Amino acid sequence: MTLVITLLQIALGGALGAVSRFLFASGVMRLTGNGLPLGILTVNVLGSFLMGVAVTVFSHHLEDVRMAPLVMTGFLGGFTTFSAFSLDAVQLIEQGRMAAAAFYIGGSVGLSVIALMLGLSMAKGF
């Protein structure tokens, strides 16, 4: 598979995933109200579940994995980057690298929240 085809698959899948995230999360929020961001929570959990299914299907059940970039990196990456984060964390755990997994999970969540707060703070000065 050429790099150009792979990149086109990722771009197409990413666009479809992002639009799906918006529609799905908006629909959940309309159904549940605005008390908690349940739309994005649902997207993150569903995306992580689907990443688990996709990894298993592409690595154990399909001989032809040419659609993996479209589905995994593209669609699921556009639907939620949380699914890629979850996959990386589980791979570290499965490798028995518990300290690395704990650092990765804590660092990803904690540092991302701190970075967002820093970005908000810095942007208010502009």
Q: List the chain domain ranges.
A: 3-79
For Cα atoms 123, 15, 45, give the angle at the middle one, nearest 5 degrees.
80
Evaluate the CA torsion angle 120, 80, 14, 85 in order and state its sign: positive
Q: Using CA atoms, how far apart are residues 36 and 109, in angstroms rounded to an integer?
A: 18
pLDDT tens digit string along 5-59? 999 999 999 999 999 999 999 999 999 987 778 898 899 999 999 999 999 999 8
Return all residues near 36 (Cβ < 8 A) that are at least 6 apart. Answer: none
Single out the residue of 74, 3, 77, 22 nearest to residue 47, CA to CA: 77
Write the CA distances from 70 to 31, 62, 80, 121, integer angstroms.
30, 15, 14, 36
Q: With bands split at pLDDT 50, 70 and 90, how would you rate the model's confidence at 1?
A: low
Token output for 37:
């961001």
Tell me which range, 14-18, 87-91, 109-113, is most confidently predicted by mean pLDDT: 14-18
The identity of residue 23, as a single letter, is L
Mean pLDDT of the chain: 92
